Structure 1
Amino acid sequence: MEKPIILTGIKSTGTPHLGNYIGAIKPALKMASDKSNQGIYFIADYHALNSVQDPQAFRKYTLEIAAGWLALGLDPEEVIFYRQSDVPQLLELNYILACVTPKGLMNRAHAYKASVERNTKDGLNPDHGVNMGLYTYPILMAADILLFQSDKVPVGKDQIQHVEYARDIAQSFNHTFGGTFKLPEHVIQEETELLPGLDGRKMSKSYGNTISLFEEAGKLQKLINKIKTDSSQPGEPKDAESSTLFQLYKEFAETDEIQQMRSRYTEGVGWGEVKKEVFYVINRELEAPRKKYQEFLNNPQAVKNILNKGAIKARNLAEKKLSVIKEKAGM
């Protein structure tokens, strides 16, 4: 019996931060460790090309994302790990799927609608700044998912639509040419909260409030010290659940540590002491991966070799499925 296929795409649009780690990377690595599944992980560099059009930055981000996942424990011997642009079959399938995808479906895609609404609000042409890569993004994502007959796709809540679109497009193809594609399911980590940033809002590059995942220890401590707190003094009870520091702490601390810290909040622990403890638990978890990450960055050829080996596995699977798809369509 074949193992269920779990597919995860990692967009290479910048250095990952703690929010990416807690919200996406850590849950995906946990799924990868489950030997009852076949994990497929890819660097989504075609998707990144929509927004990153500086060749030097493009290559840098791809290396950083790949090095980061490897440093955090992704085992390329246990999963298939490749760069999207190394699998040309994806672009063939992208066009084939485009031919059975209604334009109206693309008009309703979240990213496109958000751009149109923003432009309209600013008094611009509705399609100002919208390239066809952005507009047809969901079709390429459907190709990513469907080409490997993915069973489950871990996504954030704001990405559910992409998996639903993949199902819609698969059903359209199946209806036109006969049963060909599985219908993938999205997987949401319901227990994972949005990690707050330095200002208390969701940690996001667009807010400029992030903490880089592999920040060196000294800089990490300084950034944690900048996190906003209320004006309560040492000795005054504090509300743990509304505290940005506590939200960060509990994502990296052990269960007994979380309970103890919650009690210390009630007892009036000082903010300076809390910041020391937040730094301690984050640095404890990321110190070893940080060292491995630097080793990979210093040896980009090793990272490239790993991705190339993964690409061979991915292309072999992709070519077999694409042959079936093209035959169904009469090619």
Structure 2
Amino acid sequence: MEAPDTTSSPDAAAADGTVVVSGIQPSGRLHLGNYFGAIRQHIDLHKEHDAFYFIVNYHAMTTVQDADQLRQHTFDVALDYLALGFDPEEAALFVQSDVPEVTELTWIFFNLIPTSYLEKGVAYKEKINAGLTPNAGLFNYPVLQAADILAYGGTHVPVGADQKQNLEIARELARRFNHRYCPDDEPLFPVPEPHILDHVAVVPGTDGRKMSKSYDNTIGIFDEGDALKESVMRIVTDSTPLEEPKDPENCNVFALIKLFADEETQQEIAEKYREGGYGYGHAKQELLGLIEDRFEEARARRKELKKRPDYVRDVLREGAETARERVMPIMERMRERTGIVRTR
């Protein structure tokens, strides 16, 4: 039986009723697809509301099973966010595993959701359809994700318009818990809503497909020098001769230029395409310059932060302390409602 929808619990939400939560997976270097798909909006949003941003190292274990890599990727994501402008004075930035209560809540949620719901998971079905055998972590991924959201009393989760379905398990579990354990009392968990991010771009990779680590077609945010040039020059184009006019709207290079350039610059470059005598090599040089200009200051900040690893760890440690302060009263109420006894 589907539980009825509920309203937010006031002590599980911020004073203004909005608690923004979002996870960042440390499964490799962050790239332009990550930046324009989420990070840019995260940086803008974290100053507007009570917010918790966490590096989901447990989630990453579904694909990253090398200890040294996972440690390094986790630290690198923290470096990247701080370099790109995340202010730890404005919102909490921390590592998922530093809040063990989340995994405790995950077990509670396992007992509220049928396996049939998890069999519908997008990532799980993709693996099955590809003839692969997904691990149990991937199968149960949505339940851990739900605990990540609900443990902090999350009311809003930043997502693109095409990602709303990723929230459905969290919404369903909030309803089920409240219906089962709070039928005559104030609901414990808010039913989270998607915070639809504006201008979320589908970023083409160097091969024309969506930029993704799994396709090995990425351009790293902090690539520079020869590494950056090599990535940009690898972008696939057609064989139209240099002297011939070209359609900018059917060009992977121009699609990336549009993400960086202002309207006037876009129009100028598009006109060069249409006039002819402007080759894809010229366009790639334009893109290279735009990327370097956009991230020049962030690259400099990252190099300085890398020299201060203790500061970065302190940011994560303090973020986790803030997160646990939020989680503890919610978990105490959860244990009381479910009958989970703690003798110490």
Tell whether the structures are fold-level matches, with TM greater than 0.5: yes
What's the C-alpha RMSD, in Å, of the aligned pairs?
A: 1.7
1: distance between equivalents of 2:119 and 2:209?
30
Contact 2:18–2:155 (8 Å) recurs in 1: yes
- Match for residue 31 of structure 1? 45
Matched AA of 2:203: L
Matched AA of 2:316: L
Contact 2:188–2:330 (8 Å) recurs in 1: no
Match for residue 329 of structure 1 among 335, 338, 342: 338
Q: Do residues 98 (structure 1) and 115 (structure 2) align?
A: no
Match for residue 247 of structure 1 among 248, 251, 255: 255
Contact 1:44–1:83 (8 Å) recurs in 2: yes
Alignment CA distance shift 1:3-1:70 (3 Å): farther
Matched AA of 2:241: Q
Match for residue 236 of structure 2 among 225, 228, 231: 228
Matched AA of 2:227: K
Q: Do residues 6 (structure 1) and 14 (structure 2) align?
A: no
- Match for residue 62 of structure 1? 74
- Match for residue 209 of structure 1? 217
Q: Do residues 18 (structure 1) and 27 (structure 2) align?
A: no
Q: Do residues 131 (structure 1) and 140 (structure 2) align?
A: no
Q: Do residues 50 (structure 1) and 62 (structure 2) align?
A: yes
Give 5+ residue unaligned stretches, structure 1: 123-127
1: distance between equivalents of 2:239 and 2:61?
44
Matched AA of 2:202: L
1: distance between equivalents of 2:128 and 2:227?
39
2: distance between equivalents of 1:163 and 1:295?
37
Alignment CA distance shift 1:112-1:228 (3 Å): closer
- Match for residue 297 of structure 2? 288
What's the CA shift for 1:158?
A: 6.0
Contact 1:156–1:188 (8 Å) recurs in 2: yes
Contact 2:178–2:189 (8 Å) recurs in 1: yes
Q: Secondary structure in 1 aligned to 2:51?
A: strand
Contact 2:106–2:144 (8 Å) recurs in 1: yes
Q: Do residues 88 (structure 1) and 96 (structure 2) align?
A: no
What's the CA shift for 1:131?
A: 2.6
Q: Secondary structure in 1 aligned to 2:24?
A: strand
Q: Do residues 276 (structure 1) and 285 (structure 2) align?
A: yes
What's the CA shift for 1:326?
A: 1.6
2: distance between equivalents of 1:256 and 1:158?
29
Contact 1:195–1:248 (8 Å) recurs in 2: yes
What's the CA shift for 1:162?
A: 2.6
1: distance between equivalents of 2:230 and 2:137?
39
Q: What's the TM-score once normalised by structure 2's chain length? A: 0.88
1:243-274 CA distance string (max 9 Å, x none): 11111111111222112222222222222221
1:185-213 CA distance string (max 9 Å, x none): 12333532311111111111121111111
1:120-164 CA distance string (max 9 Å, x none): xx7xxxxx3x33222211111000011111121112466433311
Q: Secondary structure in 2 aligned to 1:277?
A: helix
1: distance between equivalents of 2:136 and 2:234?
40
1: distance between equivalents of 2:305 and 2:137?
31
1: distance between equivalents of 2:158 and 2:69?
27
Contact 1:63–1:297 (8 Å) recurs in 2: no
Aligned residues: 321
What's the CA shift for 1:114?
A: 2.1
- Match for residue 257 of structure 1? 265
- Match for residue 5 of structure 2? none
Q: What's the TM-score once normalised by structure 1's chain length? A: 0.92
- Match for residue 237 of structure 1? 245
Contact 2:21–2:156 (8 Å) recurs in 1: yes
2: distance between equivalents of 1:7 and 1:15?
22
Matched AA of 2:222: F
Give 5+ residue unaligned stretches, structure 2: 1-14
Q: Secondary structure in 2 aligned to 1:214?
A: coil
What's the CA shift for 1:62?
A: 0.3
Q: Do residues 188 (structure 1) and 192 (structure 2) align?
A: no
- Match for residue 125 of structure 1? none
1: distance between equivalents of 2:125 and 2:228?
37
2: distance between equivalents of 1:208 and 1:133?
23
